């Protein structure tokens, strides 16, 4: 599998083959085929695009310092205090006001941990700190998906092959038809129901995503050891173990602390944790789907993504991603994936910097005639729903 010279995409990926790198670019590199990419007008100088975006990334990474460190440490502290407050309120959850406040605090804590902290820590955005806790090797996030499997399916596969047919398992997560070129089959007859179910149980879909990728041999050679039944079974066992640990924490250990309030107290605490998990799941699903599946995002055939130059890779990331607009709080709760375009261009850049560099990225896109897909959250989610409903039935 060719891997680009993008250490910020997949730190654990094998070294790139020489023919897939851009430094220095080969003379006479194949031109972009404007007719094959609808959003490209009059062609794109992909080498110049890469130089401009590389410069943005290098400048941001060079400017990282104490303010960034204070930001992540403070956010981790706030998140942990929110979780503690939520658990404490749910301890007395037999009282409706305490239950409502507890669900709110725990939902917010889980959203912050998964979106702005866990997801970005697992990308290696904070490895430069050298912190023994806040790093991509040791962080264990509050999610049923094992961190190492998430890094494989998300960091190494999805980010490398964003919206590439047959390479990116995130395209519809194997459940939904979101690509108009995907043939219709009977399993899509219940697409609206599958859409709602996936949103509600999103962390479980994510948990088995790497296993599902291997079962479908996505990005695997025929003789890849990962596709062997015993290795897939070992991964599935790891997922089940993580689900068990999360369930014990949320639905047994903490609820049992409410025993002084009787069975009703235990049930209130467990039920509150379940609601908080659903709130987090629906929110994460909404943010992620708005980042790749609104109208205007594009899919690529695998053959067209082989041996890309860095500029061609950047171009595909822009055209396969979408942003949504809002204030600082919305960006924080979205894990700054409201800047999905910037995240896919620079997944190793700390997410708090995306808002700062977004105007520069948009200016670069405008200068090359590349559409910069953005809109309000409501608009983008409406476009996602419209696409899901439009592709629900065969045509």
Q: Give the tokens for residue 40.
A: 């490209």
pLDDT at res. 44: 83
pLDDT, tens digit (0-9, with 9 covering 90-100), for 299-320: 999 999 988 999 999 999 999 9
pLDDT, tens digit (0-9, with 9 covering 90-100), for 74-113: 999 999 999 999 999 999 999 999 999 999 999 999 999 9
Q: Are 73 and 337 in contact (CB under 8 A)?
A: no
pLDDT at res. 1: 33
The larger pLDDT score, comparing residue 9 to residue 140, is at 140
Q: Give the tokens for residue 70.
A: 């204070």
pLDDT beyond 50 at 37: no
pLDDT at res. 355: 97
pLDDT at res. 217: 76
Using CA atoms, how far residue 152 sits from 177, 209, 238, in Å, is: 23, 10, 14
pLDDT at res. 219: 66
Q: Give the tokens for residue 100.
A: 């409502």
Between vectors from CA 214 to CA 208 and to CA 216, what angle results, nearest 5°? 100
Q: What is the mean pLDDT of residues 277-288?
A: 99
pLDDT at res. 42: 36
pLDDT beyond 70 at 9: no
pLDDT beyond 50 at 21: no
Q: What is the mean pLDDT of residues 357-366?
A: 98
Q: What is the mean pLDDT of residues 116-145?
A: 97
* Residue 300, phi then psi, degrees to nearest 5: -130, 140
Give the model's confidence band at 39: pLDDT under 50 very low, under 70 low, under 90 confident, else very high: very low
Residues 6+ apart with CB under 8 A from 390: none
pLDDT beyond 70 at 19: no
Q: Give the tokens for residue 92.
A: 């007395």
Share of the chain above pLDDT 90, in %: 82
pTM attached to this predicted model = 0.88
């Amino acid at each position: 599998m060719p891997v680009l010279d993008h250490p910020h995409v997949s730190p654990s990926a094998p070294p790139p083959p020489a023919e897939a790198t851009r430094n220095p670019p080969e003379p006479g590199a194949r031109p972009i085929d404007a007719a094959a990419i609808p959003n490209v007008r009059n062609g794109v100088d992909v080498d110049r695009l890469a130089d401009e975006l590389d410069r943005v990334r290098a400048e941001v990474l060079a400017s990282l310092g104490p303010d960034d460190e204070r930001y992540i440490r403070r956010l981790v502290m706030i998140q942990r205090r929110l979780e503690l407050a939520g658990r404490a309120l749910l301890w007395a959850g037999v009282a409706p006001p305490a239950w409502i406040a507890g669900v709110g605090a725990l939902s917010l804590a889980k959203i912050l941990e998964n979106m702005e902290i866990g997801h970005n820590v697992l990308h290696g955005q904070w490895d430069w700190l050298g912190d023994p806790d806040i790093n991509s090797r040791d962080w264990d996030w509050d999610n049923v998906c094992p961190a190492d499997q998430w890094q494989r399916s998300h960091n190494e596969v999805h980010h490398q092959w964003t919206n590439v047919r047959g390479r990116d398992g995130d395209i519809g997560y194997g459940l939904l038809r979101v690509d108009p070129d995907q043939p219709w089959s009977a399993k899509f007859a219940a697409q609206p129901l599958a859409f709602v179910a996936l949103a509600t149980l999103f962390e479980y879909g994510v948990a088995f995503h790497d296993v599902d990728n291997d079962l479908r041999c996505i990005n695997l050679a025929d003789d890849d050891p990962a596709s062997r039944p015993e290795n897939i079974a070992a991964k599935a066992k790891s997922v089940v173990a993580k689900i068990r640990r999360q369930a014990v924490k949320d639905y047994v250990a903490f609820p049992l602390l409410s025993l002084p309030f009787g069975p009703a107290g235990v049930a209130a605490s467990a039920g509150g944790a379940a609601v908080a998990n659903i709130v987090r799941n629906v929110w994460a699903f909404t943010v992620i789907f708005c980042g790749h599946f609104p109208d205007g995002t594009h899919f690529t055939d695998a053959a067209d993504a082989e041996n890309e130059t860095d500029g061609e890779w950047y171009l595909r990331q822009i055209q396969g991603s979408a942003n949504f607009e809002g204030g600082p709080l919305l960006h924080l709760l979205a894990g700054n994936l409201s800047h999905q375009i910037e995240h896919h261009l620079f997944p190793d850049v700390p997410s708090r910097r995306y808002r700062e560099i977004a105007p520069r990225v948009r200016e670069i896109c405008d200068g090359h005639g590349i559409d910069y897909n953005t809109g309000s959250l409501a608009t983008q989610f409406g476009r996602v729903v419209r696409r899901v409903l439009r592709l629900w039935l065969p045509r």
